[in-house]
A and B are shown apart, each in its own frame.
Chain A
Amino acid sequence: MLKKRSLLGKPAVQTLLSSLLCIVLGVLVGYIALLIINPAGAGEAVTDILKNFWNYKKHATQMKNLGNTLVKTAPLLMCSLSVLFAYKVGLFNIGAAGQYVAGAGACIYCAVGLGWHWLPCMLAAVIAGALIGSISGVLKAHRNVNEVISCIMLNWISLYLVNTLLSKVKNPTSPYTYEISKQLVVEEGVAKTVAHTEALLPQIGINSLFNNNKYVGIAVPMAILFAVMIWVLLTKTRLGYELRATGLNKYAAKYCGMQDRFNIVLTMAISGALAGIGAAMFYLTGFEEWSVTQSSVPAMGFNGIAAAFLGGLHPVGAIFSSFFIQHITDGGAQLNKQVYPAEISNLISSLIIYFCGFVLFFKLVLNKWLDRRFEKRMAASQKGVSKS
């Protein structure tokens, strides 16, 4: 009997079950929403979203589109790592979005404005993200400012600072910055662009797997590597031991002589750095340019929160949850635009993402149910014993 309990009682199994339940519920509610809007194509629409790239007939096109999803999965994974790392240390980093923005600003400016190589560009993004993160960390550690509040404010501060910075490398004919493969040079007072492909992330042959999708490259394995590194850092190292202790009980951390304040700042800096790398992994592929007129923070950082929770707050789980969330987000674009307005795709994917936040809740319910069942069985077995 104890053995039976132990399989369902295992945290990993529980997390997996609750994550799957979240997905099923999200899809179900999304389906109901589609039914209400237009019952005719609802079933088809849901399968379209879930199929994403499989909607395409040709294998080559499928692979190309899978590649596109992967390009956006890498930064999403980094953002979710950023959130879960801070969360494990007891901080809620809702500022991953702003740190991501800062990283984007730094790497795009260094690439297009300064003509740097991709690696220093990425380092600049790391530093920018870490800087924004550590501001919240310092405020939390030394002035006890709630990190959620300071992070939200810094999200907007970062957005407008980056908009201002990137206006300098803006294409005069559009609201976007120049492509990452170009460098802006000013010669004798005249601005012009020259080709500069060094800033693009290397593809190291991975693109050939995805029908030569030129955006797929080093970022994907790199992000997975980071996930494993974060897992090792948290569970196997002395630093992880200290950071988790500080997060779980800062008084105990102080009592045993850990530098509790420094640890909080360090955590937020690492967390910010992860989001910053995420931005570099995305914008240095050249997949998209930055619009300097945008007035909302990119959703990447916020989706990172959902991905972190859906992945059971485990770095390896985050790899799969990030892919899934990006998969349905892209799948939303497959909706039949004749039946549903274009915005519906966002609504449906956000419904599913919203339900992803319930993982911990379902885990709690499952545990309670297990406890009750266990108790009943114990009572039953005791009765059996007393009778015999």
Chain B
Amino acid sequence: MEKGQKAPVQSEYAVEMLHITKRFPGIVANDDITLQLRKGEIHALLGENGAGKSTLMSVLFGLYQPEEGIIKKDGAEVKISDPNDANALGIGMVHQHFKLVECFTVLDNIILGVEPVGKMGVLHKAEARRRVLELSKKYGLQIDPDAKISDITVGMQQRTEILKMLYRNNEILIFDEPTAVLTPQEIDELMQIMRSLAAEGKSILFISHKLAEIMAVSDRCSVLRKGKYIGTVNTKDTTVEELSAMMVGRNVNFHVEKKPAEPGKVILKVENMTVASKMHKNNAVRNVSFDVRAGEIVCIAGIDGNGQTELVYGITGLEPLVAGKIELLGQDITRQPIRKRSIMGMSHIPEDRHKHGLVLDYTLEDDLILQSYFESDFTKAGFLRRKNIRAYANKLIDEYDIRSGQGPVTMARSMSGGNQQKAIVAREIDKEPSLLVAVQPTRGLDVGAIENIHKQIVAQRDAGKAVLLVSLEMDEVLDVSDRILVMYEGEIVGQLDPKTTTPEEMGLYMAGAKREEM
């Protein structure tokens, strides 16, 4: 902005990313993408996994430098070479996984990095507290400044993150998938907060792939697909169907087609199960009893962290039980090792495919035999039968449409998340289990892959297998399951029928506001 140039005209846009192109080896992550955020609007950024949303945000925060394109703030071109530049420009972000210090108080977390320091390095917290409380009141962000992060709810943690941005006088607020961890009631609250922030003149970029939320809260929506910019629409002029077609590139069937369940004999019986928690002194799962029958999909619903993970660990044998009993096909397996359970007919699609599901530095074929490498088909006299393994891997790759760069010898690490998940699903289903335990099987996958996996799960049920599905996604729970059990603070607080219940009713159970005596 040298002399001779006019001072920038008051721009209608808070921030503009114009014709951004960012390449990585072998892939164009962002291909000529333009995103213009108006002042005081809520702008949704929609796209499947791998569409380039994260890369675009990393460019905005200076973590990546784009090969082409410019960024403008208030109409003037700016250079953002690292996150500090972004902060200086008033751009703030609430990450999907909060960046909070667990053992610090809410107030300490808010002032972290911009502490009001007096002489000799003495902290002046009183002034900071006054400002935080003021902000909290102004925007209706309920917090307790002296509570420790580890003691407060996820919703309050998120409000702490929002206050962090406001305390730094950020004008541009980015929310990265903010609703993934919230209850329906908390989501409503967040929407209110976002609207009031926008009303106060803040500009909000809302990253999501949940169409309903985008329709509910945003003014405009920009869609990315496979690194390309598809378009920007006014939310009030569009429909969920149009948005999803823009996102996926075709029409998607949201509803899972299935015929009524015909439950048979009990396959899994859990009695008074209690599992200890690694995080705290209380038990993560408390005195839980239920059973799963052949030919039905029982879904454990609940908000993340209410004992679902530990419940599955207990059933699959990853953690020992404190008390209780588990029966599989009428046999007591409470003290049986994992391998025994697996051989008896339990399959497990784990919650975290990178932690448990795959050895990422193994080839695809080696990962496909993870549950069966010891069988005589694949091992003879202690040596692996490579020929059989290759044939088996090729068979699964064909049947389950697992796509990869080099077929069976592709490194699992280099495959896309969707195909990694397909490999796990193929491995676990091909074992022909009597019980399939599937934990968030569609987490982080795009709409097309989700459709595919849901079909597979329903097909298992129709083949007379028992399915225990653990999910955090309300839509998935309602669409796929035949019976819903809601978990809250380690206990099952309600059994619902997906045909008659509503998301609101489920939400009340999930939030602990309602419970029935089981």
Contact = CB atoms under 8 A, between A and B. Distances in A.
B339 interface: yes
B25 A237 contact: no
B103 to A, nearest CB: 21
10 contacts: A236-B386, A238-B374, A241-B373, A245-B370, A254-B318, A255-B316, A256-B370, A257-B342, A257-B371, A371-B25
Interface stretch (B79-87, B214-222, B353-361): B353-361
Interface string A235-265: 0111101101100110111111110000000
Given A255-B338, A255-B357, A378-B26, A237 B371 contact: no
Interface in B339-396: 339-342, 348, 350, 355-362, 366, 370-371, 373-374, 379, 382-384, 386
B383 A238 contact: yes
A238 B370 contact: no
B73 interface: no
Contacts of B374: 238
A251 B371 contact: no
Interface residues of B, number: 31
A251 to B, nearest CB: 5
A378 B340 CA distance: 50
Interface string B316-347: 10100000000000000000011111100000
B72 interface: no
A375 interface: yes
B370 A252 contact: yes
Interface in B387-437: none
B382 A238 contact: yes
Contacts of B195: none
Nearest to B367: A252
Contacts of A236: 383-384, 386
A242 B358 CA distance: 13
B338 A252 contact: no
B228 interface: no
Nearest to A372: B25
Contacts of B19: none
A320 interface: no
Contacts of A256: 338-339, 342, 370-371
A374 B358 CA distance: 29
A-side interface mostly: helix
Contacts of A258: 339
Contacts of B316: 255
Interface in A337-367: none
Nearest to B341: A257
A253 B367 CA distance: 11
Contacts of B371: 256-257
B337 A245 contact: no
Given A238-B379, A238-B382, A239-B382, A252 B357 contact: yes
B23 interface: yes
- By Cβ-Cβ distance, the 8 closest A-B pairs, closest first, are A257-B339, A257-B338, A255-B356, A371-B25, A238-B379, A256-B370, A249-B359, A248-B361
B382 A237 contact: yes
Given A252-B370, A256-B370, A375 B25 contact: yes
Contacts of B337: 257
Nearest to A382: B28
A241 B356 contact: no
Most B C-beta atoms less than 10 A away, residue of A249, A371, A374: A249
Given A241-B384, A257-B338, A371-B25, A249 B318 contact: no
A353 B386 CA distance: 37
Given A248-B360, A249-B360, A237 B384 contact: yes
A241 to B, nearest CB: 6
Given A239-B382, A256-B338, 19 more contacts: A237-B383, A237-B384, A238-B383, A238-B384, A241-B384, A244-B359, A245-B362, A249-B360, A249-B361, A254-B338, A255-B316, A255-B318, A255-B350, A256-B370, A257-B339, A371-B25, A371-B26, A374-B26, A375-B26
A371 B27 CA distance: 11
Contact of B348 (A238, A245, A251, A255): A255
A237 B342 CA distance: 22
B359 A252 contact: yes
Interface string B121-144: 000000000000000000000000
A252 B362 CA distance: 11
Contacts of A245: 359, 362, 370
A9 to B, nearest CB: 12
A245 B361 CA distance: 9
B348 A248 contact: no
Contacts of B359: 244-245, 248-249, 252-253
Contacts of B366: 241
B225 to A, nearest CB: 20
A255 B359 CA distance: 11
B26 A251 contact: no
A257 B318 CA distance: 9
A248 B362 contact: yes
A374 B356 contact: no
A242 B372 CA distance: 12
A242 B374 CA distance: 10
